[in-house]
Structure 1
Amino acid sequence: MSVQDFKLPDLGEGLPEAELVQWLVAEGDTVTLNQTIAEVETAKAVVELPSPYAGTVTTLHAGAGEVVAVGSVLISFDVGGADAAPAAPATGVQAETKTAAEAEAEPKAEPNLVGYGAAPRGSARPQRRARSASGRPAASDTAVLEAAPHDAIHADVVDAPVERPRSTPPVRALAKQLGVDLALVEGTGQTGLITRGDVEAYAERVGAASVPAAVPVASQAAIRVPATPGERTSRTPIRGVRKHTAEAMVRSAFTAPHVTTFLTVDVTATSELIASLKADRALQEHRIGVMAVAAKAVCLALSRHPGLNSRWDDAAGEIVEHHYVNLGIAAATGRGLVVPNIRDAQELTLIELADAIRGLAETARAGKTAPAEMMGGTFSITNVGVFGVDAGTPIINPGEAGILALGAVRRQPWEHRGEIALRDVMTLALSFDHRLVDGEQGSRFLVDVADVLREPGRAMLLR
């Protein structure tokens, strides 16, 4: 037996720890190189860990729900024999004359990043242990079960079907709320991943209570069934994205002097533009909305007011002005608030911005936003209007100079061409770092954004 330990790598951005969401393998399983073996949640994203070795799982050193420090041993493999080693196989005459001892003595690369290793040799699922007719593990597995962490075997080995269902944390939260056993759901996603649609379709077939489409994922995940009848309080560990978000917001609020300014604007012309674009069959799949128009307006306004697209570098004693826009899009998810950003948003058309916003939102709701996608933002937008809110005072994303909140679009009486008419009206709220931006700059930026929303044709005049 040749045992190799796999230590939890730095998953990006120097994060010191991660929570083990679930194992996708169990002790005794045979795994292939780069096969996904676990899902871990950092302070920024849920990440799938590929296996750095081909071989047999000997020990799982942590259970689901445990927080593991970077550098701690996570899993051990028996990689005995040349066939199980992660190194590329030798070819030609030398391969034929190499002894087993020489192959075993060859150094093996120690992985240190997610995504390491050669291309997968196959996409086979883990091979499960033999079971008796009752569905219980065979007698030969008793020693392995006793040594395994309880959380790793509770649902997977004792009572679960042969294949462990693969799904994302928001989907698992939805399944729990609907009372759906994921082991009974057939996944239609990539490599058999169970999607939100799969869970809802199964719940509908078996008559389980469905979730209203208007209820956001964040609300679903927040629902908790009391552990015992009559329980008056519940506790949720502060970890993962919610912990990171709280720390970032406190750091921002008490580091950057926030100023928020408001402007209510008639966006009827923008509403009409969106309606005309939605009516165009060639554009129907792009789902262009007010968020995309506002994103375009922000990119145009930032080119005229670069102070809103800068960063305060305290260590260097400098103000860093960006000549590009990495536009952050705040997204509420079951794991908390995440703000992935659209790289070089200033280069994108309105349609491309709409597609990028939609893609970021879907990825965030699925809990698959990579840590790198949430770094390097230069300015952010948050749409509180989707919750029916008219305005707010958003907190600046750390390292940025400002954030724009979009309120709800409401049909109400408004002065128009000297008369009172029903118009679509929206309130914009801009928070900015007063170290970088003074009141005049912030106000002029907000007016420029509002002008584009008031008259989208004005975008043709800006550069």
Structure 2
Amino acid sequence: MIRVFTLPDLGEGLTESEIVAWKVSVGDAVALNQVIAEVETAKAVVELPSPYDGVISQLHEQPGTVVEVGKPIVSFEVLDAEFADSAEAAAGAPAGEAQRVPTLVGYGAEPETGGRPARRARLNQVPADSAESGGAAAPAAAAPAPVTPEPVRERPRSTPPVRKLARDLGIDLSTVAGTGTGGLITREDVQSASSVPGAAGGVDFAYVGGQVPFDLSKPREVRSPIKGVRKYTAAAMVASAFTAPHVTEFLTIDVTPTMELLAKLKAGRAFAGLKLTPLTIVAKALCIAVGRNPSLNSRWDEANQEIVTMNYINLGIAAATPRGLTVPNIKDAESKSLLELAQALGELTETARAGKTTPEDLSGGTISITNIGVFGIDAGTPILNPGEAGILALGSVRRMPWEYQGEVALRQVLTLSLSFDHRLVDGEQGSKFLADVGTILSDPGMLITMV
């Protein structure tokens, strides 16, 4: 029997998703809950599990295709016996009890132990025409000659962002040798392949009279569809910019004491193996400052005409990924120690870069940080993450002349930029919040007086 599986609603209220990659091919036997595809919603890449035990008979959509919820994406060949068992069980169930068959995206019951492997083995012997008609299998003499499927070439091991980069550069991953763990193909491997003379998609730059180098093998204009994370981010930023009245304030401070503290922490055992950056200290300082200035951790409820102030902090961290800007958040950041924040930031960054951030990690944020300093930028006017009252931009740490103890000395300086929703946050409240963060970064010892 052929069962067609349609793209489900992934629980985000979204109407479409993009097929990023298939994990199976036509003819593959799959088990219930086995991951069969990676699907990108407007927020994240999620894994799609199989709703059936069976054999893949058809893939209706190709990778890179945007599919509406409810449209067919894959067909399975399953045994009639599987559904006969379910029907018998339902017939014997008490009145009013719902029939339980696997219908969702792998969130149903696990496959039973015993019996299933043998069924899958027999399934490969059932002719396709009898399976489609639902009738009994034809005699062996009348069965059509078996068709030997073409060998399926194993897909090179890589992550979704790396595969997208390879597609953009025109690189065939089967020609790239992976240098990552277990032969995993990395971004650096793809970029190296793109610069090799004669490689597919290789860049042949022409330098004429000091012109900026462009890839002359590409057309003069390239049009890309607006979809996925980029489409969602654009709509969210427009809504935020034209709904919340933004105010941005700046504070430039001497953070030499914070940088000295980071150096001491890196040398200690507790933080061994963790990546410590100014962002770690800023995250902790923000949590302390929110406790003293709670209006920065609120939201505007237009429908109920209420201001909702949260007594917890889900700290969003703006992350630039190959798929666009995402803002995953650290849940209950206010309850975490500096060590726990460092661990959470490391995990969040690694997951975002790998394109594995879940929709849950992207929802429920209350206030955000964007680290523009990693790009060498000093200050900016960040746009609020929709539904939040504040976002703090962390600039680049620079060594520059600064007044210190009545003299001019070479110190480490950075600029903080705070944007806030003026409906929720008055200028005094925003200024005090920014000053609190600056005080902690200028002199971490002052933290004792604030808690």
* TM-score class, shorter: 0.7 to 0.9
CA distance in 1, matches of 2:365, 2:19: 28
Q: Is 1:73 the counterpart of 2:61 in the alignment?
A: no
3-state SS of paired residue (1:411): strand
| Deviation at residue 65 of structure 1 after TM alignment | 1.6
| Deviation at residue 243 of structure 1 after TM alignment | 0.6
Q: 2:171·2:190 contact (CA, 8 Å) conserved in 1?
A: no
Query: What is the letter of the counterpart of residue 173 of structure 2?
Result: D
CA distance in 2, matches of 1:15, 1:206: 36
Q: Is 1:168 the counterpart of 2:168 in the alignment?
A: no
Distance 1:433 1:182, change over 3 A: farther
Alignment-derived partner of residue 369 in structure 2: 381
Q: 1:178·1:208 contact (CA, 8 Å) conserved in 2?
A: no
CA distance in 2, matches of 1:319, 1:184: 54
Alignment-derived partner of residue 51 in structure 2: 52
CA distance in 1, matches of 2:111, 2:407: 68
Alignment-derived partner of residue 15 in structure 1: 14
Once the two structures are superposed, residues 310-357 of structure 1 have per-residue CA deviations (whole angstroms, 9 ceiling, x without a partner) of 000000000000000000000000000000000000000111111111
Write out aligned runs for 1:107-186 (5 A). Answer: 109-113=101-105, 115-118=107-110, 141=147, 161=153, 163-175=154-166, 177=169, 179=171, 181-182=173-174
Q: 1:19·1:66 contact (CA, 8 Å) conserved in 2?
A: yes
The structure number with the bigger radius of gyration is 2
Distance 1:33 1:422, change over 3 A: same
3-state SS of paired residue (1:437): coil
Distance 1:116 1:424, change over 3 A: farther
Alignment-derived partner of residue 252 in structure 2: 264
Q: Is 1:320 the counterpart of 2:308 in the alignment?
A: yes
Q: 1:33·1:120 contact (CA, 8 Å) conserved in 2?
A: no
CA distance in 1, matches of 2:85, 2:413: 61
CA distance in 1, matches of 2:294, 2:414: 25
Alignment-derived partner of residue 447 in structure 2: 459
**Alignment equivalent of 2:284, drawn from 289, 292, 296:** 296
Distance 1:203 1:388, change over 3 A: closer
Query: What is the letter of the counterpart of residue 322 of structure 1?
Result: M
3-state SS of paired residue (2:271): helix
Once the two structures are superposed, residues 213-264 of structure 1 have per-residue CA deviations (whole angstroms, 9 ceiling, x without a partner) of xxxxxxxxxxxx97x9462111111100011000000000000000000000
Distance 1:45 1:205, change over 3 A: closer
Alignment-derived partner of residue 133 in structure 1: none
**What's the TM-score once normalised by structure 2's chain length?**
0.80
CA distance in 2, matches of 1:119, 1:420: 72
Q: 1:12·1:371 contact (CA, 8 Å) conserved in 2?
A: no
3-state SS of paired residue (2:316): strand
| Deviation at residue 460 of structure 1 after TM alignment | 2.2
CA distance in 1, matches of 2:65, 2:165: 22
Write out aligned runs for 1:18-417 (5 A). Answer: 18-82=17-81, 109-113=101-105, 115-118=107-110, 141=147, 161=153, 163-175=154-166, 177=169, 179=171, 181-182=173-174, 195=184, 197=186, 200=188, 229=217, 231-417=219-405
Gap runs ≥5 in structure 2: 92-97, 125-144, 198-213
CA distance in 2, matches of 1:412, 1:328: 30
Q: 2:48·2:105 contact (CA, 8 Å) conserved in 1?
A: no
CA distance in 1, matches of 2:178, 2:434: 49
CA distance in 1, matches of 2:69, 2:420: 35
Q: 1:390·1:408 contact (CA, 8 Å) conserved in 2?
A: yes
Q: 2:17·2:69 contact (CA, 8 Å) conserved in 1?
A: yes
Q: 1:32·1:120 contact (CA, 8 Å) conserved in 2?
A: no
Distance 1:314 1:460, change over 3 A: same
Q: 2:314·2:366 contact (CA, 8 Å) conserved in 1?
A: yes
**Alignment equivalent of 1:444, drawn from 415, 432, 435:** 432
Count of aligned pairs? 401
Alignment-derived partner of residue 5 in structure 1: 4
Distance 1:207 1:405, change over 3 A: closer
CA distance in 2, matches of 1:85, 1:414: 80
Distance 1:381 1:195, change over 3 A: farther
Distance 1:404 1:196, change over 3 A: farther
Query: What is the letter of the counterpart of residue 181 of structure 1?
Result: L
Distance 1:459 1:196, change over 3 A: farther
CA distance in 1, matches of 2:85, 2:75: 14
**What's the TM-score once normalised by structure 1's chain length?**
0.78
Distance 1:62 1:462, change over 3 A: same
Write out aligned runs for 1:429-440 (5 A). Answer: 429-440=417-428
Q: Tell me the percent identity.
A: 55
Q: 1:384·1:405 contact (CA, 8 Å) conserved in 2?
A: yes
Once the two structures are superposed, residues 68-120 of structure 1 have per-residue CA deviations (whole angstroms, 9 ceiling, x without a partner) of 11122221111114469997x99xxxxxxx9xxxxxxx955243346444169
| Deviation at residue 61 of structure 1 after TM alignment | 1.9
Distance 1:24 1:112, change over 3 A: same
CA distance in 1, matches of 2:272, 2:344: 15
CA distance in 2, matches of 1:119, 1:454: 58
